[in-house]
Structure 1
Amino acid sequence: MKYRLIALDVDGTLLNDEHELSERTIETIQEVHDQGCHIVLCTGRAPASTLPILQQLGLEGTMITHNGAATVHADERGQTLVNEFAFTISEIEPMLDYVRREGIHFDVCTSFNMYIERISEYEKQMYQKFLINPKLVTNVSELGLPIVKFTLFSQHELDRVQKEWEEQKLYGHMRMIRSGDLFIDVMSAKANKGNALKALAATLEIDPSEIMAIGNYYNDLEMMAFAGLGIAVENSPEGVKEAADAVTSSNNDEGVREAILKYCL
């Protein structure tokens, strides 16, 4: 088999718009896994909300989570942190001041937990959809924990926020990415799916030419570029499809299954 590792984005790529996995996709992934291919979920999700997807696939193994900021191995013994790109709360205080002042919802994540200062019914539904159970605290600035991701969530404000933060360089030496239409993530400058995949591939002694990566959004570009074959699903923005080596069907039309059948089986 030409590809020894398949890196899969989850939301908008592996899952359909109802956040579901098709049975045929599960069967195809299990088939290629049984032939010796490593399946690695590479997602903006936390480990706790990624693990149920891995289990639904009937697999164990390594997950690249928080958009590359935390790599976690999961097996019957539990979850073990393999690598993280962390930062301190003090490094994002100017941004925390901004979102508090503007009333924009945010959360901060350690590798294994998420913390919020407030929540409405709309945000509660969003977290439930992504299988997330955040911890409510009075002030995240008092956590004193290594943070791997700071996320903004809004239906209408993020284009303005992104523009203002880029003009003001409010994120400083950090990395700001748009991980979805409704999300902005701020992480360590070293944290991205490509760097995490590169580190994992080195551990497994797998050459980039032996890796296929499938994604749907701008936070997938680094892993698609690192892989020997980077594939975008049809529902990706045009910029993502243009950067890809190939395009497969949409997440609602089993695009991941189609790509595995075409290039691996």
Structure 2
Amino acid sequence: MNYRLIALDVDGTLLNDDHELTDPTIETIQEVHDQGCHIVLCTGRAPASTLPILEQLGLEGTMITHNGAVTVHADERGQSLVNEFAFDMKDIEPMLAYARREGIHFDVCTAFNMYIERISEYEKQMYKKFLISPKLVTSVSELGVRIVKFTLFAQSEVLDRVQQDWEEQKLYGDLRMIRSGELFIDVMSPEANKGNALKALAATLEIEPQEIVAIGNYYNDLEMMAFAGLGIAVENSPNDVKEAADAVTLSNNDNGVHEAIRKYFF
């Protein structure tokens, strides 16, 4: 099979646990790109914190960000919005009230900006690690903007309780709630996922699903892995993510993306 597009999750997949790209991974991605394969980063990150990864790979092109809620194109002229799935701030007011009451950190995102109401040193270090510079405001409810993602950041056991409470109370209404990482819960439009965004992008590029390889590590990667002709999970994925994949490669700390591309492309 001649694959024409590789969709890559970033954190926990493309990057190691130190949030670094390794030289073998960079070299292999550049080599397969030079042979004409499209490389698409598909991440929960915002465009601003995804672009440095794309630049470190020596590439430009389209990025699927905010877990599929926003697709942007990046080149020497800057970043331009290709597609977004947005919703009204009023749709998350019950969840905002819950997070404020329980003292759980949250942020809300438009396509290109992130807003927070408070921040401690713990959250500062998290944002620094992900190359994010959020804007501090008195109340996100007063911004008067449509948003693409609402995210909670807390310890795993706290988010376990939040998930249970919100599912029992249906606080997220018609929106979609996903666990995008052990320490993160995302709430987005029901249409927003990496699979739908990848499907739309592939259609514009006239690439069939069977010509796509998708590599990921977490539950927010399942839709894109299912859409692709070959869905690959890295070894550090939860067991049910690995079971849903067509194949499993080495972990993100063992150059799993590099190994998968060498195996299936060369």
TM-score range normalised by the length of the shorter chain: over 0.9
3-state SS of 1:225 partner:
helix
Aligned to 1:173: 174
Cα-Cα RMSD: 0.6
Which whole-Å CA distance do the structure 2 matches of 1:224 and 1:145 have between them?
32
Which whole-Å CA distance do the structure 1 matches of 2:88 and 2:30 have between them?
39
Aligned to 2:220: 219
Which whole-Å CA distance do the structure 1 matches of 2:245 and 2:69 have between them?
23
Stretches of structure 2 that go unaligned for 5 or more consecutive residues are none
Aligned to 2:36: 36
Aligned to 1:254: 255
Mapping 1:120-139, distance limit 5 Å = 120-139=120-139
Which whole-Å CA distance do the structure 2 matches of 1:2 and 1:96 have between them?
47
How big is the shift at 1:264?
1.0
Deviations 1:41-71 (A, max 9, x none): 0000000000000000000000000000000
3-state SS of 1:178 partner:
strand
Mapping 1:3-42, distance limit 5 Å = 3-42=3-42
TM-score by length of 1: 0.99
How big is the shift at 1:115?
0.1
How big is the shift at 1:226?
0.2
Stretches of structure 1 that go unaligned for 5 or more consecutive residues are none
Deviations 1:209-264 (A, max 9, x none): 00000000000000000000000000000010000000000000000000000001
Which whole-Å CA distance do the structure 1 matches of 2:93 and 2:265 have between them?
46
Letter in 2 for 1:27: E
Aligned to 2:52: 52
How big is the shift at 1:146?
1.5
Deviations 1:86-132 (A, max 9, x none): 00100100000000000000000000000000000000000000000
Letter in 1 for 2:49: S
Which whole-Å CA distance do the structure 1 matches of 2:143 and 2:98 have between them?
19
Greater CA deviation, 78-87 or 1-10? 1-10
3-state SS of 1:50 partner:
helix
Greater CA deviation, 39-48 or 161-170? 161-170
Aligned to 2:234: 233
Residues 1:66 and 2:69 are matched in the alignment: no
Letter in 2 for 1:41: L
How big is the shift at 1:167?
1.0
Letter in 2 for 1:150: F
Residues 1:108 and 2:84 are matched in the alignment: no
- Share of identical aligned residues, percent? 85
Name the count of aligned residue pairs: 265
How big is the shift at 1:173?
0.2
How big is the shift at 1:184?
0.1
Which whole-Å CA distance do the structure 1 matches of 2:88 and 2:51 have between them?
26
Superposition misfits of 4+ residues, deviation over 4 angstroms = none
How big is the shift at 1:169?
0.9
Mapping 1:159-170, distance limit 5 Å = 159-170=160-171
Residues 1:79 and 2:74 are matched in the alignment: no
Letter in 2 for 1:12: G
3-state SS of 1:157 partner:
helix
3-state SS of 2:125 partner:
helix
Which whole-Å CA distance do the structure 1 matches of 2:265 and 2:5 have between them?
10
How big is the shift at 1:145?
1.0
3-state SS of 2:151 partner:
strand
Which whole-Å CA distance do the structure 2 matches of 1:210 and 1:118 have between them?
45
Which whole-Å CA distance do the structure 2 matches of 1:32 and 1:56 have between them?
16
Which whole-Å CA distance do the structure 1 matches of 2:245 and 2:94 have between them?
35
TM-score by length of 2: 0.99
Aligned to 2:209: 208
